[in-house]
């Protein structure tokens, strides 16, 4: 019989990429020269890491399926992001699919397979974990995976998460505040 030790479970913050870790440019961010890291991103990542969270990126990359760029471009962007935040990201998952170009995929958000794979691999407790994203599909994936969600809102957005924030730094502060409140 397999026993699960509650103490051995990890807490995690799942992070969407475009619009959270880098500024959303509106059209398939894949060139290093277009990468803009928002103010406070590295600080938010550091705060979450110091609080003991695993940090795992889950991002749709349909531009691969559409033939706009290759996986090498995605890896180059992710490498630069690691450099920008002191290599604190624990894992990066991406879904290179698009239903109108390749096939439907359970990895592609709003589905939650990327998160579920990470949960199994890293022994993540969904009850202690979060999803931060800037789209309703990010919130849907988080909800399907059983984690709390924070929707990074831009002008005109309708809130779709459990909480809202203006950026990653504000979201990190909210998570740490919630953690303190639960400890009381």
pLDDT tens sequence across 51-69: 999 999 999 988 787 778 8
Q: Which of 16, 34, 90, 162 is catalytic?
A: 16
Give catalytic status of residue 162 as yes or no: no
pLDDT tens sequence across 101-129: 555 667 789 999 999 999 999 999 999 99
Q: Would you kindly state where each structural domain of the chain is located, as residue ranges?
A: 13-183
pTM here?
0.91
- What's the per-residue H, E or C state across 90-103? CEEEEECCCCCCCC
CA angle, residues 144, 65, 117, in degrees to nearest 5? 30
Q: Which of 5, 18, 157, 181 is catalytic?
A: 18
Give catalytic status of residue 16 as yes or no: yes
> 13-183 has which CATH code?
3.40.50.1000
């Amino acid at each position: 019989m397999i026993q699960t030790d509650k103490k051995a479970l990890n807490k995690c913050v799942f992070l969407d990429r475009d619009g959270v870790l880098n500024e959303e440019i509106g059209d398939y961010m894949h060139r290093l020269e277009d990468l803009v890291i928002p103010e406070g991103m590295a600080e938010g990542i550091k705060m979450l890491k110091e609080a003991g969270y695993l940090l795992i990126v889950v991002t749709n990359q349909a531009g691969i399926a559409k033939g706009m760029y290759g996986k090498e471009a995605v890896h180059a962007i992710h490498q630069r992001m690691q450099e920008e935040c002191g290599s604190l990201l624990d894992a990066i998952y991406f879904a290179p699919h698009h239903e109108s170009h390749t096939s439907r995929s359970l990895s592609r958000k709003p589905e939650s397979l990327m998160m579920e794979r990470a949960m199994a691999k890293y022994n993540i407790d969904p009850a202690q974990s979060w999803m931060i994203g800037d789209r309703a599909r990010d919130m849907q994936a988080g909800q399907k995976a059983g984690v709390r969600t924070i929707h990074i809102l831009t002008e005109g957005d309708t809130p779709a998460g459990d909480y809202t924030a203006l950026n990653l730094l504000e979201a990190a502060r909210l998570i740490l505040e919630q953690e303190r409140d639960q400890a009381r």
